[in-house]
Chain A
Amino acid sequence: MKLYSRELLKGTADTLVLSAFAEGEMYGYQVVRELDRRSNGFFQFKEGTLYPILHRLERQSLLVARWESMPNGTERRYYSLTALGRETLRDRISEWTGFASAVSLVTAGAGA
């Protein structure tokens, strides 16, 4: 069964990704796991598509990144919200909450 349209996810992807950083910094793979955990596995997307979003948000100065070397020799690129990113996230959440409430109001009782 198709759970949601690709367009719907596309329109909310930035907000979802920014939300993952609300509690602190994370590296890409962690973001994938976090979105999976918070949504109880609802969001299914190819993991590689996260990186263009992360890099774009970084370019827009909503995220900032830093490298960290791990004891096993690997390196992780950690991202965190900037002040602008936090402000944008607040705005997006407010916008989404209002939008979702309005859609619920309109669609309530209209289900066939």
Chain B
Amino acid sequence: MAEDFLSGFARRLKISDGRRDQVIRELRTHIEASRNDLELSGRPPDEAMRESLDRFGDPGEVADMLSVVHRSHLPKFKLVAIATIALAGLSAWLGTSHTFASGARHPIHHHQLHQSRGQANEIRRIGMRQVFVVPGPRGSDRARTPTNLTHTHGIGIVVRMARP
């Protein structure tokens, strides 16, 4: 009876195999301890098992709650690794490590965008955003985007850092 209960629970549990085995071991111990207590208090074995499962509650609900707990917490080093890979990918997508993109550090106006369009030696499309790559003096690298991209159709400027 307990094994059927735990099998159903395990099927509903959406976590890694290693973690799932540990959770099942832990819950099996719980149900056994509960059943033992009930038997010691005089309940027949079958009745004790039924009651211990009833006290445990809905296995599907518990499995769902545990799945959320274990899904929503990535180890910190994994988060750092994912962030690093994402930044590296973004950098590669922009095409050069000499291009610095940091969102709206320096809000710009429409007339600057039109001016930049004329100066651009390269125009790129990054997702929904059109970006003009314009030359700039050494050390002046920065990405500039309008304060409200939705109203400017997602246009931005990337000023490329002069190579040393």
A residues bordering B, Cβ < 8 Å?
27-29, 46-49, 51-52, 55-56, 59, 74-77
Give 3 closest A-B pairs by Cβ, nearest first.
A46-B57, A52-B65, A48-B62
Check B69 for interface membership: any CB of A closer than 8 A: yes
> Is A59 in contact with B73, judged by CB distance below 8 angstroms?
yes
Q: Given that A51-B23, A55-B66, A55-B69 are known contacts, is A74 also in contact with B57, CB under 8 Å in the complex?
A: no
Q: 11 interchain pairs (CB within 8 A)? A: A28-B30, A29-B34, A46-B56, A46-B62, A48-B56, A48-B61, A51-B23, A52-B69, A55-B23, A59-B70, A76-B29
Q: Which of B24-39 contact A (CB under 8 A)?
A: 25-27, 29-30, 32-34
In the bound assembly, the distance between CA atoms of A55 and B59 in angstroms comes to 16
> By DSSP majority rule, is chain B's interface helix, strand, loop, or mixed?
helix
> Is B29 in contact with A47, judged by CB distance below 8 angstroms?
no
Check B138 for interface membership: any CB of A closer than 8 A: no
Q: Given that A46-B56, A47-B56, A49-B57 are known contacts, is A27 also in contact with B29, CB under 8 Å in the complex?
A: yes
Interface centre among A27, A52, A59 (most CB of B within 10 A): A52
In the bound assembly, the distance between CA atoms of A47 and B58 in angstroms comes to 10
CB 8 Å contact bits of B58-87 with A (1 = contact, 0 = none): 110110011011100100000000000000
> Is B30 in contact with A75, judged by CB distance below 8 angstroms?
no
Q: Given that A56-B69, A59-B73, A74-B32 are known contacts, is A51 also in contact with B27, CB under 8 Å in the complex?
A: yes
